[in-house]
Amino acid sequence: MRKKLILLVSMLLLGSSFVFSDAVSFKFVYFAPRAKSDLWDEEFRLMDFTKSSFHSTSISFGYEYFLRREISFLISVDTYTRKKVGIYDGLVGETIDDYYNPEIDTDYFAFDYGEGYAIQHTFDVSITPIQLSVKLTPMGRRQRFIPYVGAGVGIYFWTARLLGDWIRFDQFDKFIDQSTGEEVIGRPIYFADVRDENKITFGYHAFGGVMIPVSNRLSLDLEFKYNVAQGDLKRFEGFEPFDLNSYLFSLGISYWF
């Protein structure tokens, strides 16, 4: 809810600024998190989803104020959210009704094999950067193809949440399989609802692209952007800062006033 409110306020601020800006833009974005920190790594190692599972399409809004023909200021808002349900690879859940250990009072355990149920949880990530950039168009804006580059800083609103089954790999107990009489190792399964939500961090970015004019006031924009940011995790104890670095590929339009 807070993320939607932030986005709404940002759009209203952009809208109120249109009368002072020289261009506005709307883009469709392919958003790909770099996903290199240990919480990402653990999810990809244990679950059946991959990095590409968290690639997503989103939208971006922006307005641009020209200082001169080759230099402008740009304010933009990107959006990203992705929620995936994953299943633990190579493990099944069982109740201890099928095993015997009089010292165990936990109901559900994970085993390497069996006829049990799929152990799964949802991993949910959202990132909303609000960014201020300096944009350079070294060849001016009266070309058939207008290349540009830019860089700047931003405020990143983000959330990471895990909801569902969670296996404690640092704990295990020995059981006797009643069907085979063999000793097996089981790890306890708990229900988890761990969330670092509505977090704020600072970062920076760089981008480059080309504008293709289609009329005196309208252009088609192709762009690549790289965002750099790290978010401190509080609820996910023992994990390093969460990697918010992202690759953004966008296609959109700009309208010049």
119-147 tens-digit pLDDT: 999 999 999 999 999 999 988 777 889 99
Distance, CA of 205 to CA of 75 (rounded, Å): 12
List CB contacts of 183: < 8 A, sequence separation 6 or more.
Answer: 174, 175, 176, 177
Q: What is the pTM of this model?
A: 0.85
Percent of the chain with pLDDT over 70: 87
Better-scored residue on pLDDT, 207 or 107? 207
Distance, CA of 158 to CA of 198 (rounded, Å): 6
pLDDT band at 106 (very low <50, low <70, confident <90, very high): low
Counting DSSP H helices and E strands in the chain, the numbers are 2, 14
pLDDT at 17 > cutoff 50: no
Is 257 within 8 Å of 22 (Cβ atoms)? yes
Mean pLDDT of the chain: 87
Percent of the chain with pLDDT over 90: 65
Which pLDDT does position 103 carry in this prediction? 52
134 by DSSP, 3-state: which? Answer: strand
Query: What stretches of 214-232 adopt beta strand conformation (E)?
Result: 218-228, 230-231
211 is written with which tokens? 């504008």
135 is written with which tokens? 């944009």
pLDDT band at 97 (very low <50, low <70, confident <90, very high): low
The β-bridge partners of 64 are: 23, 74
Q: How far is CA 32 from CA 93, 99, 256, in A?
A: 32, 44, 29
pLDDT at 228 > cutoff 80: yes
- The half-sphere exposure of 142 on its side-chain side, counting CA atoms within 13 A, is 1
pLDDT at 236 > cutoff 50: yes
Distance, CA of 217 to CA of 153 (rounded, Å): 28
Closest listed residue to residue 241, CA positions, set 40, 18, 20, 31:
40
- The half-sphere exposure of 158 on its side-chain side, counting CA atoms within 13 A, is 24
Which pLDDT does position 182 carry in this prediction? 78
37-82 tens-digit pLDDT: 999 999 999 999 999 999 999 999 999 998 888 899 999 999 999 9
Question: Which residue is listed with tokens 């405020």?
Answer: 155
pLDDT band at 169 (very low <50, low <70, confident <90, very high): confident
Which CATH architecture is the domain 2-256 placed in?
Beta Barrel (2.40)
Is 216 within 8 Å of 208 (Cβ atoms)? no
Which pLDDT does position 185 carry in this prediction? 85
